Amino acid sequence: MTLCSKLLALLRKSRTLTTAAAATASATANGMEEAAAGPLRTRVCIIGSGPAAHTAAVYAARAELKPVLFEGWLANDIAAGGQLTTTTDVENFPGFPEGILGAELMDRCRAQSARFGTKILTETVTSVDFSARPFRVASDDTVVHADAVVVATGAVARRLHFAGSDAFWNRGISACAVCDGAAPIFRNKPIAVVGGGDSAMEEANFLTKYGSRVYIIHRRNAFRASKIMQARALSNPKIQVVWDSEVVEAYSGAEGGPLAGVKVKNVVSGQVSDLQVAGLFFAIGHEPATKFLGGQLELDSDGYVVTKPGSTHTSVKGVFAAGDVQDKKYRQAITAAGSGCMAALDAEHYLQEVGAQEGKTD
C-alpha cells in the first residue's frame, strides 16, 4: 500500500469517527425527544453496520418498509462499518477493478442506505425482546418496535496480542488469508499461520499458492483439526510446522517498513528464535456478536445464529440473520452482502404473509 493510500485511509477513518461522534451527539438529543414521545415504530429493524446490514437496508428501503438501522457506536471495539473498516485495500469486491479502501466501501454502503430512506442510529443495541409482537430492540437511548428484525452484527476475528502485533496489523499481520493472501507483499515469500484447528490447516494450504513456504505455529504438540485437514497440511511439501511455540514479537527490517519476521518462543524449552516471514495470519477463530441476544435465538456450539437451510430464518419467526453472525464458513464481504439481500426479501415475504403491510406507518 502506498504512503498516499495510507494517509487517505487515516483521513477517512478520522472523518468517519468525527462524523460518527457528531451523529451520536445528535442521536442522543433526538433519542431523548423520541423517548418522551414513545418508541420508534418501524416495519423492519436492522442491527449491524457491515455489508449484510446495509444490503438488507437498501432492499428493505426500496420495498418501502422504512427500515431503522442500529449501526452501533464502537460496538465490539470496531467502528461502524464492521470488519472492513479495519482493512486497507479490498480487491475482491466486484465493481472495483482498482480495489477500494475498506472504510471507503462501507462509507458508500452507508450512503446508499441513507439515500433510500433508512433511518440510521449511531447507537449500540443493548437488549432485545423477541417474546412478543411487535419485537422490541433497545439501545441506551432509543427503543424501537418492529414487525421484523434482521440481525447482522457480524463476528470479530480473534487476535493475539504481543509486541508489534498492533503496529504491523495490515502491514503484514492479518486474520483473513482469503482476503489478503494474494497481496503482492506475500508473493514468493515465507508466511506463517498461527493456529491448530481446521481453519489454520485450510488457510495454510491456501497460502501455499502464494508464499514460498508456509509455517504453522502451534503452541501444542498436536493439532485439534480434523484428521483429513491435518493430513492435507502435513503432506504439503511447502508447509512446515513449528510445534510447542507461540509468537512473542513482530518486527520490521533494518530500515523499517512492513513485517519482516517474528520472534517465536518454544513453550517447553523457553528458547526464543527468529522466524523471517513477510506475513503472519491469525487463524484462531472468530467471536460472533450474539451476546446481546440474551439466548432468545438458537445458537450453535460456537455462538453463531442458527438459520434454516437456504434461508435467513432463525428460530423465532419474524427474526432473520445475515452475514458473518450466521456464517462461519465463508466470512466474505460479498457473501455477507448476498445474505443481507436474502434477509430483506425473507422479511418482506414474512410481512406479506402475516398481513402486516396493511398497517404501514408513515
Which sequence positions are flagged as catalytic?
176, 179-180
Question: Rounded CA gap, 174 and 192, in Å?
Answer: 11
Please provide the size of the chain in residues: 362
- Neighbouring CB atoms inside 10 A of 214's CB total 28
Encoded amino acid at 237, one letter: P
Q: Which of 116, 114, 121, 111 is nearest to 39 (CA)?
A: 121
**CB proximity list for 150: less than 8 A, separation 6 or greater:** 44, 45, 46, 47, 48, 53, 56, 60, 312, 319, 320, 321, 322, 340, 343, 344, 347
Q: What are phi and psi of 219, to 5 degrees?
A: -80, 0
| DSSP line for 288-332 | ES-GGGTT-S-B-TTSPBP--TTS-B-SSTTEEE-GGGS-SS---
Residue that the C-alpha cell 511439501 belongs to: 237
Q: What are phi and psi of 116, to 5 degrees?
A: -90, 5
Contact yes or no for 131/258 (Cβ under 8 A): no
Question: Rounded CA gap, 51 and 31, in Å?
Answer: 26
Question: Rounded CA gap, 103 and 83, in Å?
Answer: 9
